């Protein structure tokens, strides 16, 4: 009989920072390969995986805006383009180990990737392909965390798995407070009221309104990505 996993379709959010690892370059190929291997191991089990990639390893609109008169919208479009670079790198890595992967961009770049078409994305997933969503939401003033929540809702994925460089959400800043505790679970309410820097407000609110649980976990811990996708307990679970 078919083993039952907690999730059938997941949205994995990989931040740009996580892709950089401790590498001095923008993208650490060891990290993309680790992601590819672990995603491969779960797609073989029949779990459908969509990925939203960030771009903060290359460019962040909000922090670059203002320099030399760069306006926020232009800066954010550069940031969105940065996510496309990460997406293509990750796609190439996945396909190098035999995982069929499609990149869909939120605005048209037809020579390099498909445009985002919801029904087509779902079809790819049903066929066992990994879909990487790039260029965020396609709108300035948003983040790729919000894109993750949005795409998760659109494709009816069951959970946002946020892969980061930290073990999960703490009750205090672990760098400043050595007694800070890693939290197993949290409500959306606690995240927003305590201003825990898990996700921006737009992203967490979108998850809350659509009852999408969020798992925050450390991708540098070998095996964690596969565990998170299979619904094993890792990091912090945020929900109702």
Angle of helix 144-154 relative to helix 201-209, nearest 10 degrees?
10
61 scored as a contact of ligand UDP (CB under 6 A): yes
- State how far the Cα of 33 lies from the Cα of 217, in Å rounded to an integer: 18
Nearest C-alpha neighbor of 236 from the set 226, 224, 2, 177:
224
28 scored as a contact of ligand UDP (CB under 6 A): no
Contacting range for ligand UDP; rule: CB under 6 A; set: 96-104, 133-141, 180-188, 215-223: 133-141
17 scored as a contact of ligand UDP (CB under 6 A): yes
Give the count of alpha carbons within 13 A of 205, CB side only: 6
Number of residues that bind ligand UDP (CB under 6 A): 25
21 scored as a contact of ligand UDP (CB under 6 A): no
Contacting range for ligand UDP; rule: CB under 6 A; set: 48-56, 93-101, 115-123, 220-228: 48-56
Smallest separation (angstroms) from ligand UDP to the CB of 128: 26
Contacting range for ligand UDP; rule: CB under 6 A; set: 141-149, 159-167, 173-181, 187-195: 141-149
SS3 37: helix
Q: How many helices (H) and strands (E) does the chain have?
A: 9, 9
The tokens describing 121, both together, are 């994305």
Question: Are the beta carbons of 144 and 151 closer than 8 angstroms?
Answer: no
15 scored as a contact of ligand UDP (CB under 6 A): yes
Contacting range for ligand UDP; rule: CB under 6 A; set: 3-11, 40-48, 144-152, 165-173: 144-152
- List the interface residues with ligand UDP, window 146-205 (CB under 6 A): 146-147
Smallest separation (angstroms) from ligand UDP to the CB of 59: 6
Q: Helices (DSSP H) in 21-175: which residue ranges?
A: 29-43, 61-64, 72-96, 118-126, 144-154
Q: Which residues bind ligand UDP (CB under 6 A)?
A: 15-17, 54-56, 60-62, 75-76, 79-80, 82-83, 136-137, 139-140, 142-147
């Amino acid at each position: 009989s078919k083993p039952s996993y907690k999730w059938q379709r997941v949205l994995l959010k990989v931040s740009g920072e996580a892709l950089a690892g401790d590498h001095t370059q923008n993208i650490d190929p060891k990290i993309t390969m680790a992601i590819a291997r672990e995603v491969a191991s779960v797609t073989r089990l029949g779990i459908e995986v969509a990925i939203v990639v960030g771009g903060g390893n290359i460019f962040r609109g909000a922090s670059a805006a203002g320099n030399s008169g760069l306006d926020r919208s232009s800066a954010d479009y550069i940031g969105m383009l940065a996510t496309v670079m990460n997406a293509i790198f990750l796609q190439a890595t996945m396909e190098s180990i035999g995982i069929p992967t499609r990149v869909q961009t939120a605005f048209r770049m037809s020579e390099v990737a498909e445009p985002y078409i919801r029904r087509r994305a779902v079809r790819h997933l049903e066929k066992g392909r990994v879909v990487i969503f790039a260029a965020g939401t396609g709108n300035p003033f948003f983040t790729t965390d919000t894109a993750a929540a949005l795409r998760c809702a659109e494709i009816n994925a069951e959970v946002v798995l946020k892969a980061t460089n930290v073990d999960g959400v703490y009750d205090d800043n672990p760098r400043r407070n050595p007694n800070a505790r890693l939290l197993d679970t949290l409500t959306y309410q606690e995240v927003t009221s305590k201003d825990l820097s898990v996700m921006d407000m737009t992203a967490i609110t979108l998850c809350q309104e659509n009852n999408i649980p969020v798992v925050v976990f450390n991708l540098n811990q070998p095996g964690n990505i596969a565990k998170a996708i299979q619904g094993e307990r890792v990091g912090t679970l945020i929900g109702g």
